[in-house]
Amino acid sequence: MNIVYAVATIFITINYGLVLQGIIGKVYARVATRIGLRIYQPYINIIRQWVTRTSINHGIMYYLGPVFRFTGGGGILIFLPVIYGAPFFSSFSSAGDMLLIMYFMFLGTLGMALGGGESGHPYAAIAVTRGLAQTTAAEFPLILAIFSIVTQYQTLDVNQIVAAQQGSVLNWTLFTNPLATIAAMLAFLGSMMRSPFDVVLAPQEIPIGPPTEYQSQFLAMLMTNRTIFPVAKTILYVNLFFGGVALQDSWLLTFVIFFLKTFFVYMWSVFVGVSFPRFRVDQSVRWFLKAPAALGVLAIIFVQTGM
């Protein structure tokens, strides 16, 4: 039964992510005084790629890269309590903990690095190095923040972390450990790969990469993960720092709370993205290793000293 729940959760998440992509496209267009594409355009793009065939052959890892990427996003999602207290939206959340989720977080990135290395492009190694450097730097403050709250709640179980935040808004990690929350939210900007930390994927600077190296179903799988991973990451942040989403007396109220929390956390990266120009990769790495990393270290000290 958990497998059925997991498949249903992934399906719902894909549609939610596609709708958010359409809304975000409109936001970027309006800021640039353009009309923008239709909100349902992401559906058209992903369906078009799924029905396309390709005869290009680069090697086994080239094809496994999108599979690893999709597994990373889907793995995070099914081991999270999407709605705390609702079996249908809990999937395998009782079978994994934060360590497993952190492995899945880096699995997709590593898989794409291995796949990109077999793309046949002479500069693939440079692109892989740049991408891994920025991703590692962005994840470092998040790891420190997670270590801080795991020490604070004395558990690696996400369900127990969410349970500890119930009862009052003041029980949220946002208020009990604000330093960890700020460090994680700054790291969130890098993991979402939006401006100012999207130079690795920016077509204006790099006219190569997954959108041009991959085609047909392989690109469709990457696009599908692009809808799953940001939403899964957002749900993880809601669970760890903003009290999670607990099952209410009314399902309508539950879904309203879920939408509001995930939407505003998700849009944090969008608002920053439309406000700041891109950093170079070396600038991004230095930025994440300064204030965000320092806040992560202070969050650990904050918990360890009982402050």
DSSP structure class, residue 197: S
Residue 304, class by beta-carbon neighbours within 10 Å (0-12 exposed, 13-18 middle, 19+ buried)?
exposed
Q: How far apart are CA 255 and CA 78, in angstroms?
A: 18
Range of the domain at 96: 2-304
pLDDT in tens, the chain (307 residues): 678 888 888 888 888 988 888 888 888 888 877 887 888 888 888 888 787 776 666 777 777 878 888 888 888 888 989 899 888 888 787 777 888 998 888 887 777 777 777 766 677 777 778 888 888 898 999 999 999 999 999 999 999 999 999 988 999 999 999 999 999 999 999 888 888 888 776 655 554 556 566 777 777 777 788 888 889 999 999 999 999 999 888 889 999 999 999 999 998 988 888 888 888 888 999 999 999 999 999 999 989 887 5
The single-letter DSSP state of residue 35 is -
Query: Which stretch of DSSP H or E encloses residue 3?
Result: helix 2-31
As for how many domains the chain has, the answer is 1
User: 122 φ, ψ to 5°?
Assistant: -65, -25
